[in-house]
A and B are shown apart, each in its own frame.
Chain A
Amino acid sequence: DAGVTQSPTHLIKTRGQQVTLRCSPKSGHDTVSWYQQALGQGPQFIFQYYEEEERQRGNFPDRFSGHQFPNYSSELNVNALLLGDSALYLCASSSRQFGSPLHFGNGTRLTVT
């Protein structure tokens, strides 16, 4: 039973560039959430997708966008990268069942230079 998988594991980009991160949810899960974790901090909610639509969004600018595909996998896109976007980006999947737990992938470490 495959857990949550994320790609790539590491990425180095230059300010102003654009980046796409990918996530495949745990088998049986249809909901994907994205979190940003800065060094020494707890994860911060970016947004959540289910039924291929963004359902809730955290306090992140429009430079952060996403997509969910019919197979429930998801992408996180960040445009016009800033140095402050350097972080660990975590994908979490869950079922739609009320109160279901989050399952996380190993994350993508993004470094913006």
Chain B
Amino acid sequence: KQEVTQIPAALSVPEGENLVLNCSFTDSAIYNLQWFRQDPGKGLTSLLLIQSSQREQTSGRLNASLDKSSGRSTLYIAASQPGDSATYLCAAPTNTGNQFYFGTGTSLTVIP
């Protein structure tokens, strides 16, 4: 069974700071990994999908990396803004692709 862990559980940074969120997974036989954002009481918004053949994926101020051999992914947020405040979740699928395992998320607060 895939187990996904996210560290730290919570993070508070001043506006403008660059930050890194960590995600680790136990089964490296994944073919992709997806990062999501969740605002309080809302659904999940897809941020980035990294295929196993890729090492990095970028969208605007976000950059996600994937290292299957070490079972780790990171989400880098550049020049953080108060609007980035949310919970960030990573999800890794089973090798059949039918079921995604989620971490418990990192709650990010960006202080103006």
Interface set of A (CB-CB < 8 Å, partner B): 4, 6, 33, 35, 40-45, 48, 55-56, 58, 88, 90, 92, 98-99, 101-107, 109
A-side contacts of B101, CB under 8 Å: 45
| Nearest CB of chain A from residue B7's CB, rounded to whole Å | 13
| Size category, B interface | 20 to 34
Given contacts A42-B103, A42-B105, A55-B98, contact A101 B41 (CB under 8 A): no
B32 within 8 A of A: yes
Instruction: Kindly state whether residue B76 has any CB partner on chain A within 8 Å.
Output: no
Contact status A105-B105, CB under 8 Å: no
CA distance A88 to B39 in the complex (A): 13
State how many angstroms separate the Cβ of A40 from the closest Cβ of chain B. 7
CA distance A56 to B15 in the complex (A): 43
Main secondary structure of the interface of B (DSSP, over half): strand
The complex places the Cα of A88 from the Cα of B40 at a distance, in Å, of 11
Q: Determine the distance from Cα of A82 to Cα of B41 in the docked complex, in whole angstroms.
A: 21
- From A42, A44, A101, residue with most partner B Cβ within 10 Å: A42
- Looking across the interface, which residue of chain B has its beta carbon closest to that of A50? B98
Q: Are B42 and A106 in contact (CB under 8 A)?
A: yes
Known: A104-B45, A109-B41. Contact between A42 and B89, CB under 8 A?
Answer: yes
**Distance of A109 Cα from B41 Cα, bound (Å):** 8
